[in-house]
Structure 1
Amino acid sequence: MSPSQSSSFLHVEDLDAFPEDLKGGIVAIGNFDGVHRGHRAVLDAALGLGRGTHHPVFAMSFEPHPRTVFNPSRPVYRLTPPPLKVEMLKVCGLDGALILPFTKDFAGIEANAFVQNILIDTLGISHAVTGYDFHFGKARQGTPDYLRTAGAEHGFGVTIVQREEDEGAEVISSTRIRDSLAEGDIAQANALLGYRWFFEARVEHGDKRGRDLGYPTANLHMSSDCPLLQGIYAVKIKTENGWFDGVASYGRRPTFDSGAVVFEVFLFDFTGDLYGQSLRVHLVSHLRGEEKFESAEALIAQMDRDSEEARAALGSMQPLSEIDMKLLDLAL
């Protein structure tokens, strides 16, 4: 079963239930948080090896993030939480994803046991593809060179993908993308990802203040560790009723001294009820920082200007990649 032959994507979380359809395949191994351009270089290398063969191509990844396991007081914010990461891997054209639970016990597996027990005995891989900085096994014994040697010894191929750099010759990384979000530099975050960063959240009841201002909003809860800079954003929103352009405010609503951080989305040209729906929000551009206004009238005037600017940004938006087009349901 190759990517061109696959009729369904297989999401596996249990080694004991690893499906026959993926055995003997080409595995891309990594954490893949964000499935950014650097990650996709690894995935594309695996897909290229599988093209024109009978070998399935799948990803092996781990949850939670290893740094979170070893330092739980400082969890790593996930650019793509597990369900979204799996969806991204599917959009990339893989045949499946094996998402293994990462624990301290798992981290303590000897590198040779990881190769023999997992890669060979359970997965029966024909080829492994990893990034230049991937390590595995106890004390990170499993280096890229170790994997190459193991592949030569056991009869499976190994491809190590070198680091992917942006147009400024800087390494593309999940850390840089988190930093870009924290700075409100959505253009850079999206450029490094190769698609518009997005999240999903359920619409919750708020204080209905937006209705009084002429801007009824959908209130979305963001995780407390989200690094996104508070401010105003142009966004595209996917609802049960389809796609809408919109403008969003992320912050504490200082004009009304709410204090609670909330992500509020106003959908252009929408009428209806969104309560209880899970919305997908793609950030397109950062319009301005959060501000306190002297009156509700001054706030409304600024919201009018924000809406005009958001419409202009969204109207001139161009897809960043084929992946971006697929995620936004645009015609190829």
Structure 2
Amino acid sequence: MPTKVVFFLLPKLHLLDLAGPAQVFSTANDLGHGYDLYYVAEVDEIVTAQGIPVKARLDWPELGPADLIVVPGWRSPRFSPQAPLAAVTKQRLRTHHAGGGQVASVCSGADALGAAGLLDGRRYTTHHDLTETLAARYPKAQLIRDVLYVEDDRVITSAGIASGIDLALHLVAVQRGAEAAARVAREMVVYARRNGDELQESAMLRHRGHVSDLAHRVQDVIDSRYADQLRLAELASGVGVSERTLTRVFTAATGLTPLRYQQILRLERAENLIGHGTTIEAAARAVGFEDARMLRRLRSRPAAG
């Protein structure tokens, strides 16, 4: 079943807070990853902070634990004593989360989650201009500064404006895999990052911050077949260039040779398997190494960029 993503819209919402994440999930759906988008409000038309009216539905779709509610930011909680949210909407947010669902916010949308009681006892972030206001308003929550997004017990908050794209790409990566998120980022021509408040980034996203179509096409092949024995000649033939040209363009775009990129993908997947109890030997075989010697050698190297 497709994941339902409900955007709850408040008056004077910021367009990019809504459009950025909506584009991510819409693009993911276009690529076959199953997302249905809904736009709900307490009135049937919202005028954005940028002056554009947006139509919304008043009724909510039926939601399950796999579904997501996103509250985009609006202008601005600094000028109102509390989030302009009806009691029934606050209860709906609480009920969805209590039933196992995810709730997310962009920018000042964190104020809505706080008003619903969903920030209490949890870590969160928001736009840097709003940190002092929300820290005072929700003293039971732990504000995390200077990060793109924070996830705590199915409550996901992001910083300001464009960070909603990063949050949505992160959710696609978690729900549908890093390869899916990388493809979405490529389609949107954005720098794909998953750093949030985490220390690790998937190589599938970390090395997509370029605009070389040829390198992206080769990465698409390696991402989907990283456990296979991929010859440079096969990769070059697939994109219609010489091996020398492929190596030059790919290295300039990603900072890695195609082989090194594949090794990093294998290593990351193997580390994930080992972290979940798989033996080094079994992990090596699962990611395409003939034996564990190469995996051990790669694990002993300094972390790749």
User: TM-score, normalised on structure 1?
Assistant: 0.31
**Higher RCO (C-alpha 8 Å, min separation 6):** 1
Give the alignment's TM-score, normalised by structure 2. Answer: 0.33
